[in-house]
């Protein structure tokens, strides 16, 4: 069983989309996704600088759009489909929207419309109070949790593999970095707000008002939720969770536990890839992984998917 995983914000780098747009039809596809989002994915994925694509309103559509383009490339001219070759799909944070589109819960156009609103709403919420996020790597989990609580920070992403992402005001993060738990590294992240915390409540409210009654389909492949790592059977429930997740912690650790319990034998990460494969190598030891960083990685991913398809047959 292959897991297809979709990365979240912070995975983007300047120019990362350029090689993908050289593939037949993908530039035109990117332009169509840009129209749906109201964000120029081609420019931001090729020539925009790091500060520009760090903007939440730009970063989120860019990441989801890139994932959908990589998915198109992965299955171009192939007889099998995602439903026949991948057994489970999961996205990290905004990557849940990519996952929803990959499994048919959302159309690609709806996914881009939703992520555009999500990015704008979260950027506006971030502007209310200067906030941010820092990865905390290593240390005793109980001591890390106690230190976060002492500084008023939220464990916004429980990523597993010894990594927790702390979120809060810039003052709280600075105080935490000056007094870190023993045997930890504190790494500021290139994001513009305290995502998945109470600071994002205005964004969650706006998304709920605009999208809670939107028509969606049920997933065609097992789709895991960041809320608790469990598979969600209906599109309506996944959408509800996706909206709520904006202000609640991401439990990627539980998603990886579920993948292990389901018997995942390989993992493919869509572009802009690398982060989730890195976590899987530490938490899902022995499971082969492929990070679709550039089109050069497509053959390795297809081989992994083909092996899974053959095993099912």
Active site residues: 93, 196
Are the beta carbons of 217 and 231 closer than 8 angstroms?
Answer: no
Tokens of 227: 């809320």
Query: What strand order describes the sheet that includes 163-169?
Result: 154-160, 163-169, 131-138, 184-188
- DSSP assignment string, 1-43: -EEEEE--TT---TTTTTTGGGSTTHHHHHHHHHHHHTS-HHH
Residue 25 burial (CB count, 10 A): 12
Tokens of 131: 């906030």
Mapped onto helix, strand or coil, the DSSP state of residue 118 is helix
Tokens of 239: 């959408």
Residues 126 and 123: their CA atoms lie apart, in Å, by 5
- DSSP assignment string, 248-261: S-B-HHHHHHHHHH
Phi and psi (nearest 5°) for 67?
Answer: -60, -40
Smallest CA-to-CA distance from 63 within 116, 127, 120 is with 116
């Amino acid at each position: 069983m292959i897991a297809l995983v979709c990365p979240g914000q912070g995975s983007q780098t300047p120019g990362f989309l350029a090689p993908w747009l050289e593939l037949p039809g993908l530039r035109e596809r990117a332009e169509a996704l840009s129209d749906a989002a109201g964000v120029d994915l081609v420019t931001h994925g090729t020539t925009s600088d790091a500060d520009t694509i760090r903007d939440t309103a730009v970063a989120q559509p860019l990441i989801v759009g890139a994932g959908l383009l990589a998915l198109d490339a992965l299955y171009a001219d192939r007889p099998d489909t995602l439903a026949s070759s991948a057994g489970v799909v999961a996205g990290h944070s905004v990557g849940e929207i990519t996952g929803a589109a990959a499994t048919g819960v959302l159309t690609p156009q709806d996914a881009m419309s939703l992520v555009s609103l999500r990015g704008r709403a979260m950027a506006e919420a971030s502007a209310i109070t200067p906030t941010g996020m820092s990865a905390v790597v290593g240390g005793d989990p109980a001591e890390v949790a106690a230190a976060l609580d002492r500084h008023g920070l939220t464990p916004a992403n429980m990523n597993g593999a010894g990594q927790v992402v702390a979120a809060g005001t810039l003052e709280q993060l600075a105080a935490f970095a000056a007094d870190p738990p023993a045997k930890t590294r504190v790494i500021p992240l290139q994001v513009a707000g305290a995502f998945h915390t109470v600071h994002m409540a205005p964004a969650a409210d706006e998304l709920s008002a605009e999208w809670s009654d939107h028509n969606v389909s049920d997933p065609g492949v097992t789709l895991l939720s960041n809320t608790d790592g469990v598979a969600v059977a209906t599109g309506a429930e996944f959408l509800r969770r996706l909206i709520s997740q904006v202000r609640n912690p991401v439990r990627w650790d539980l998603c990886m536990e579920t993948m292990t319990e389901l018997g995942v034998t390989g993992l493919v990460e869509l572009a802009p890839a690398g982060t989730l494969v890195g976590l899987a190598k530490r938490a899902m030891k022995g499971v082969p992984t492929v990070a679709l960083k550039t089109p050069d990685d497509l053959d390795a991913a297809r081989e992994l998917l083909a092996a899974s398809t053959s095993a099912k047959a």
